[in-house]
């Protein structure tokens, strides 16, 4: 189905192929494409792809990337990239909400609030040899090049074999308090560095309007440790 917009002709649907693959439950093709975003194939990416596709089909939705569908993820691990790719709810289109709970789980919801929460059951998602390599190469950063390559192969095998495994998730229907559409703020120019800044992020200091780095103010950062607050850190 194509959307038509009067005389202007056909609107290109950016996610047409992804939406088709979701409906066809072609998880293998979705995982292959998700790897382009994520950079490697791994068990958690695979679980994110699988959970994302399941949730999209359960809610019977497509996502044109305009905040009609939102995803709430509860940790920033590989799973969340599978979710972003398959559901189309991303960091940049304001439809990805991040709650720093440290849980591998996602809630997908429509703007009406009807949603589904899927969490990954505790368990082993790779063979013991790959798990041991993961501890050495990733957790302790001690792996040789050969061990790293062996890990990536083990990751890949685990990722694709998980697509056929059942009983991986706990699912429940939920009612979600969906936030308002992202507000549009004016931009202002920092009097120190001259860069454009969203007005709500400007800081008044000594009678001047500055950006946070120029003012040396506190800020939040999302990084590998989750959400971290920095106070007056020089950037
Ligand atoms: Zn990964
Ligand atoms: Zn500045």
For ligand 2, the distance from its centroid to the CA atom of residue 176, given in whole angstroms, is: 38
Please tell me the number of the ligand nearest to residue 151's CA.
1
Residues whose Cβ atom is located within 5 A of ion ligand 1: 42, 45, 78
Ligand with an atom nearest the CA of residue 79 = 1
Residue ranges near ligand 2 (ion) with Cβ within 5 Å: 190, 192-193, 211, 214
Residues constituting the chain: 235
Provide the 3-class DSSP secondary structure of residue 10: strand
Q: Is the pLDDT of residue 5 over 80?
A: no
| Domain 8-137+144-175: assigned CATH number | 3.30.1330.130
pLDDT digits (tens, 9 = 90+) for 32-71: 999 999 999 999 999 999 999 999 999 999 999 999 999 9
Mean pLDDT rounded to a whole number for the chain: 94
User: Which pair of tokens denotes residue 55?
Assistant: 């949730």
Ligand closest to CA 158: 1
For residue 60, the model assigns a pLDDT of 96
Residue 43: CB atoms within 10 A of its CB come to 26
Quote the distance between the C-alpha of residue 135 and its chain's center.
24
Q: How far is Cα 232 from Cα 216, in angstroms, rounded to an integer?
A: 5
Q: How far apart are CA 184 and CA 163, in angstroms?
A: 40
**Residue 75, pLDDT above cutoff 90:** yes
Task: Please tell me the distance between residue 62's alpha carbon and the centre of ligand 2 in angstroms.
Answer: 40
Output the CA 99–ligand 2 centroid distance in Å.
29
Give the tens place of pLDDT for each residue, 115-164: 999 999 999 999 999 999 999 999 999 999 999 999 999 999 999 999 99
Q: Is 99 helix (H, G, I), strand (E, B) or coil?
A: coil
The pLDDT of residue 228 is above 70: yes
Q: Please give the distance of CA 108 from its chain centroid, rounded to a whole number.
A: 12
User: Residue 152's closest CA among 170, 126, 172?
Assistant: 126
Closest Cα to residue 196, out of 206, 186, 207, 182? 186
* pLDDT confidence of residue 11: 87
- Overall pTM surpassing 0.85 (yes/no): yes
**CB–CB of 106/81 below 8 Å?**
no
Identify which of 96, 94, 93, 100 has the alpha carbon closest to the alpha carbon of residue 83. Answer: 96
Higher pLDDT, 54 or 232: 54
Give the pair of three-digit tokens for residue 1.
């189905």
Predicted confidence at residue 9, as pLDDT, reads 80
231 CA to middle of ligand 2, Å? 17
Q: Give the distance (Å) from ligand 1 centre to CA of residue 38.
A: 7
Reading phi first (left if > 0) and then psi (alpha if -120 to 50, else beta), residue 175 is in beta
Share above pLDDT 70 across residues of the chain, in percent, rounded to a whole number: 95
Angle between helical axes of 43-59 and 145-162 (0-180°, round to 10): 20
Q: Ligand 2 center to residue 229 CA distance, Å?
A: 19
Domain boundaries, the chain: 8-137+144-175, 187-230
The number of beta carbons lying within 10 Å of the beta carbon of residue 132 is 14
- For the segment 154-180, the average pLDDT, to the nearest whole number, is 97
The predicted pLDDT at position 217 comes to 81
Check if the beta carbon of residue 76 is closer than 8 Å to that of residue 222. yes
Q: Match 């950006």 to its residue by tokens.
A: 211
């Amino acid at each position: 189905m194509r959307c038509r917009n009067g005389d202007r002709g056909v609107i290109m649907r950016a996610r047409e192929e992804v939406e088709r693959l979701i409906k066809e439950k072609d998880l293998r093709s979705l995982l292959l494409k998700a790897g382009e975003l994520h950079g490697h194939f791994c068990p958690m990416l695979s679980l994110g792809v699988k959970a994302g596709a399941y949730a999209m089909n359960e809610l019977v939705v497509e996502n044109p990337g305009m905040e009609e569908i939102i995803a709430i993820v509860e940790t920033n691990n590989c799973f969340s990239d599978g979710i972003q790719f398959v559901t189309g709810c991303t960091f940049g289109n304001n439809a990805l909400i991040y709650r720093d709970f440290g849980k591998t789980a996602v809630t997908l919801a429509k703007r009406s609030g009807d949603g589904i929460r899927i969490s990954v059951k505790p368990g082993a998602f790779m063979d013991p040899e790959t798990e041991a390599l993961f501890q050495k190469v990733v957790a302790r950063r001690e792996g040789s090049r050969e061990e790293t390559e062996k890990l990536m192969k083990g990751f890949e095998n685990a990722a694709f074999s998980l697509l056929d495994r059942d009983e991986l998730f706990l699912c429940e229907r939920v009612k979600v308090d969906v936030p308002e559409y992202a507000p549009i703020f004016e931009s202002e120019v920092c009097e120190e560095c001259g860069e454009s800044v969203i007005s709500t992020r400007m800081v008044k200091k000594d009678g001047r309007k500055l950006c946070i780095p120029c003012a040396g103010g506190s800020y939040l950062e999302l990084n590998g440790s989750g959400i971290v607050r920095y106070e007056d850190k020089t950037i």
